[in-house]
Structure 1
Amino acid sequence: MMNDALKVTRLHYIKREISFVVPIIIMALVVIVSILVALVMQRVGLNPDSTEWKEGFQNNGGAFWSFPGFFVYLGVQAIASTFPFGMALGTTRKAYAAGTALFFLLQAAYIAALGLVLFALERLTDGWFVSAYVFNVNMLGSGNVPILLWMIFTVAFFSLSIGGVFGALFVKAGTKGPMILAIALILAVAVLLVILAPQLGAIFRSLTFVRVGAGFLAIGVAAAVGQYLGLRSASVR
């Protein structure tokens, strides 16, 4: 099974540009936009050494929010476009699901490594030479490298796995599959919020980076299992 799973992982990496180049472009664009914002702020007279400036950029969530949407898409297309080829290789559905999960893990690790490189460049240049902070921010641990890696890795894996579930349901049931799942998730979240409403304040106060990342990772693992369950009876088109 391991050899078959590795074949599936290699199959996903056929589209190297999407796997390796596009994430770099997305992160570079976030950096460029942040630099432009910093330059505009300086032009209107704001002081980069002020407390307001530092607090503002510490709340910059651009890097955190920039890649989940793309990785959900990548997770969808990874399964929707390769499942028939994976089956043509003679792999079992379990091996295909395992190989896809490994691809998602490797991609998440790659993105975390990219984030670390850009964080190091940001520190080296004191905010890209204009005091623009993108990776050294509150949502990524405020300079705590293990937290930075943990958050980027878990969010990327979560996003890929969620996309994978939607892709698996698309392969299994066409457009109706993802639509039903989306409706079910919205209803489940709404019901959960109603039930937990009195405790929401305490829950948010108890959250830590470790707990949030663990939540993302747990949901990602559950989604990976969901991918297999969806593909187990899907027809090869």
Structure 2
Amino acid sequence: MDTMILTTKLHLNKREITFLVPLYITGVVTVISVLISLLFWRSGSLPGTPGWIQGSQSNPGIAWALAGFLVYLGVQSVATTFPFALTLGASRRGFVGGTFLWNVTVSAYLTLVFAVLTMVEVATGHWFSEFYIFDVYILGAGDMTLLIPLVFLSVLSMLMIGGVFGASWIRYGARGPQFVGIGIAIVLILALII
């Protein structure tokens, strides 16, 4: 248990990349979404109309923007920290447990961020201008009973997928992630065929 907590603390040493970079990405995507909404508004679309709401809530940008970063974060959490943790005396089991605890912490943090931003958006009438950024279909369309598990499990999955690719790189070198990727592609194709 001690190694697990120490591993989690080791991951949490990277505070900016863990807690601030996701906020930076979310902020940039928010600004871009607002600019796109302003572009549509200027071209004749009317905020608040059924077509506006339908189109705005169909925007998945806020969800997809973080996906690549979260996979990268999962890769680097294993690939850069594992060798260092082993030299400090961490066991493999303790490292995996600590990394999972860190993944859960990041997932809970981002779930809280998205829940608060969605509540603020809904409470302000979509930023006082009918601009839908977080109250979108891919995040549950403002329904907290959908948003909370959806965001939590999605973030956790992305971090863990990244961790698997990072672990395969540590174990098998550059060929490891290639084989994992090919294996996943074959399994998905077979599942689709079946």
Q: TM-score, normalised by structure 2?
A: 0.96
Contact 1:78/1:164 (CA < 8 Å) preserved in 2? yes
Post-superposition shift, 1:152? 0.7
Deviation of the 1:29 alpha carbon: 1.4
1:49 counterpart letter in structure 2: G
Specify the code of the residue in structure 2 equivalent to 1:136. D
Q: C-alpha offsets along residues 175-209 of structure 1, whole Å, 9 cap, x if unaligned?
A: 100000001111111111011xxxxxxxxxxxxxx
* Per-residue CA distance 1:132-186 (angstroms, 9 max, x = gap): 1121111211121121111111100000000000000111111100000001111
> What secondary structure sits across from 1:67 in the alignment?
helix
Give every structure 1 segment of 4 or more consecutive aligned residues whose post-TM-superposition deviation is greater than 6 Å. none
- Which residue is 1:91 aligned to? 90
Matched AA of 1:51:
P
Partner of 2:80, secondary structure, is: helix
Matched, 1:27 2:26: yes
The aligned amino acid for 1:140 is L
Instruction: Give the number of equivalent residue pairs.
Output: 194
8 Å CA contact 1:35, 1:130 repeated in 2: no
Secondary structure at the residue paired with 1:35?
helix
What's 1:131 paired with?
130
SS, match of residue 132 in structure 2: coil
Gaps of 5+ in 1: 196-237
Tell me the amino acid that sits aligned with residue 36 of structure 2. V
Please state whether the residue corresponding to 1:139 is helix, strand or coil. Answer: helix
Give % identity.
Answer: 38
Report the Cα distance in structure 2 between the residues aligned to 1:130 and 1:31, rounded to whole angstroms.
Answer: 14
* Partner in structure 2 of residue 223 of structure 1: none
What does residue range 56-135 of structure 1 map to in structure 2 within 5 Å?
A: 56-135=55-134
Q: Displacement of 1:50 after TM fit?
A: 1.4
RMSD of aligned alpha carbons = 1.0
Deviation at 1:56, TM superposition (A): 0.5
Amino acid at match of 1:10: K
Residue 139 of structure 2 is matched in structure 1 by 140
Unaligned ranges ≥5, structure 2:
none
Greater alpha carbon shift after TM alignment, 134-143 vs 168-177 = 134-143
Distance 2:186 2:10 in 1: 35
1:112 touches 1:152 (CA, 8 Å); kept in 2? yes
Q: 2:163 matched to which residue of 1?
A: 164
Q: Are the aligned partners of 1:7 and 1:99 in contact in 2 as well (CA < 8 Å)?
A: yes
